[in-house]
Structure 1
Amino acid sequence: MSALVKARRTIRVNWDAAASDLRISPEHLKLEIGVLVGTGKGRLPRLTVQRQRLPLERFSPGVTVALEVNGSHLATVLDLHTELYIASVPDHGDLLSPSSEGAIVWDERTRVLLEGDGPRFPVMAVPFSEIFPRGTARRAPWHIHWTPSDWHRDFHGALQLFLNTERAEVVERMQQGDTLLMQAVLAEAVTQVCSALVLDPDAQDLADAAEDGSLLSQALYWLQLAFPRSTLAQMREIAVHRPGEFGASLLALSEIGVP
């Protein structure tokens, strides 16, 4: 028997502020809220499993949309997309006011990673003196194995974390779920992948051919979160000329709980 997944969105609108921004008088402003539940790996949901659309009233405290989804319909990601629409075209609007019914004036997307069909970050504990017989790498606490030429490989198996069993304290802290250690490991993985992409001279061509669920699409997703509204060329400038800022942005993104 599949579990029932419940989600709830409560939306409150400052009506006067919204009317002012949209250049529509408050008494003529008509809004609706729409909530869509999607699922499937990749940056965009592959399947819509539920959709609701409700009117918003000017003097109401807000509207709550409650959703229940059968867990058997979900895979990899729960995507909760909320949109605010123009419910009807106002008779007295400004030239810059929305002019069509259904025009989206605000939206927000929340993505929750679910337990999928395989580990997203396989982990193996091995003695580094065996895999790095020479050089200082054998004393490293961990090693993230991946290949930049595998951009189109499925993200689930594209990266692998090796822990050094000769650094017992690191393995123990990881097993205990040490938050700072996990953030450091995730930050290194994210930084390695994102740096390699933005510094690749063919980055834009690669991005144009990105496939959902691939290592490349995940890297682009991380970069968009860390540097919203920036182009790959602008991200490259930050990485080259302000590497500290580039790394700090990705470190913050790697905080446990950030998608």
Structure 2
Amino acid sequence: MTFEGWQLGDKGAPLEPVGELLQDWDYARDLTLRASVQVNFEAAASALEVDADSLVIAAALHVGTGQGNLPRRTSIVAIDRISKSQARVVLEADLDGSQLSSRITGHVHLSLGPGVRGYSALSPSVPGSRLWSTDFDILIEDGGSSRFPVSSLSFQAAFPDSKHPFSPWYLDWRPGDLHSDFSSSVALYVNEDDKEFHERFHTGDRLTVQSVLGGVAFELCSVALSSEDGFEMDTFEEGSVGAVISHWLIQAFGQTLARSAKGELERDPGAFFASMLSAMSEEP
């Protein structure tokens, strides 16, 4: 069997291979999702111990959307039939941008169709039996975590008198005004002197990016929660530094426990940091 990959893009435009983040997405953008599967029927029939002429496979494309590991909405958006005479199918669906939120998950399921003739007691015979599946998960909006500027610098050249010339990254921000615009108030610098780390970060290595975002989230959240002025989650406008911090706290602790996150930080800062890192596994 050959899976030809996931493709996603604006409706009516050329599609591109799916990555980890869909850049510049907004609710006015309708998307098209495509997945192609080809089955070697002789090989499949031999592996399943069934008659190739009677083998029919149902192919279904499921799409989910919503924040978190479990999408709030999942639906079957395309169905096709694979048989010996039609061994390749293209599953394609248009996605209404107004109905999407936070992320898109896609799943292709191949299951047994009716009427298959088996050669042994172990041959699958129940229609709907799962034969194969694959999936993807792409972030389409992220509460600002990837929208702030990221720049590559030689730290030894840019910060010659600092105490952090060998740090792999540095976050430039001022904690005084959490109501300021996040994208213009927070900047991440990646040290291009560290060739290996620099390459891993900019090629999107999952663990490298997760560790950086987790560190960034911990820095901002811990400073905000420790402020003498206190931190009130419901007082910030969308897109502000405080709103992004609130998003990260909810991502890490849930809507209810996020409001008592300061206590977690004071009781067990190590667990607080680990929770930030874990939450960033949901980020690109």
Identify the TM-score tier after normalising by the shorter chain.
0.5 to 0.7
Give the counterpart of 2:182 among 141, 155, 160: 155
2:101 counterpart SS class:
strand
RMSD of Structure 2 on Structure 1 (CA): 3.6
The answer for unaligned runs of 5 or more in structure 2 is: 1-8, 12-29, 34-64, 68-73, 78-92, 104-137
| 1:226 has 2:249 as partner | no
Aligned pairs for 1:102-251 (under 5 A) are 113-114=140-141, 120-204=147-231, 206-228=232-254, 229-230=256-257, 232=259, 234-251=260-277
Q: Is the 8 A contact 2:249 2:258 kept in 1?
A: no
Q: Tell me by how many angstroms 1:193 deviates.
A: 0.9
**Closer, same or farther: CA 191–69 of 1 in aligned 2, 3 Å:** same
1:92-151 CA deviation, whole Å, 9 max, x = no partner? xxxxxxxxxxxxxxxxxxx953499xx603211111123322243011111111111231
Distance 1:187 1:237 in 2: 19
Query: Quick one: distance in 1 between partners of 2:244 and 2:142?
Result: 17
**C-alpha distance in 1 between matches for 2:10 and 2:202:** 30
Cα distance in 1 between the residues matched to 2:265 and 2:148 = 25
Higher helix share: 1
Runs of 4+ in 1 over 4 A off after TM superposition: 63-71
Q: Which amino acid aligns with 1:163?
A: V
Instruction: Determine the structure 2 residue equivalent to 1:58.
Output: none
- Residue 81 of structure 2 aligns with which residue? none
Q: Distance between the aligned counterparts of 1:160 and 1:136, measured in 2?
A: 19
Change in 2 beyond 3 A, CA 1:165/1:209: same
Mapped partners of 2:279, 2:10: distance in 1:
33
Structure 1 stretch displaced more, 133-142 or 178-187: 133-142
Aligned residue type for 1:187: G
Is the CA contact (8 Å cut-off) linking 2:252 and 2:275 kept in structure 1? yes
Distance across 1 between alignment mates of 2:75 and 2:157:
57
Gap change, CA 1:186 and 1:2, over 3 Å in 2: closer
In 2, the alpha carbon distance for the partners of 1:141 and 1:225 equals 25
Q: Does 1:252 align with 2:278?
A: yes
The answer to whether the 8 A contact 1:210-1:216 is kept is yes
The answer to whether the 8 Å contact 2:251/2:279 transfers is: yes
Change (3 A) 1:258 1:115: closer
In the TM superposition, what is the alpha-carbon distance from 1:70 to its structure 2 partner? 4.8
AA aligned opposite 1:147: R
Provide structure 1 residue ranges, at least 5 long, that are not aligned to the other structure: 8-36, 44-62, 81-110
Question: How far did 1:154 drift?
Answer: 2.2
Greater radius of gyration (CA): 2
TM-score scaled by length of structure 1: 0.55
- The answer to whether the Cα contact below 8 Å between 2:31 and 2:96 also exists between their aligned partners in 1 is yes
Amino acid at match of 1:184: S
Deviation at 1:244, TM superposition (A): 0.8
Secondary structure of the structure 1 residue equivalent to 2:216:
helix
State the 1:182 CA deviation: 0.7
Q: Distance in 2 between matches of 1:254 and 1:193?
A: 14
> 2:218 touches 2:276 (CA, 8 Å); kept in 1?
yes
Which TM-score applies when normalising by structure 2? 0.50
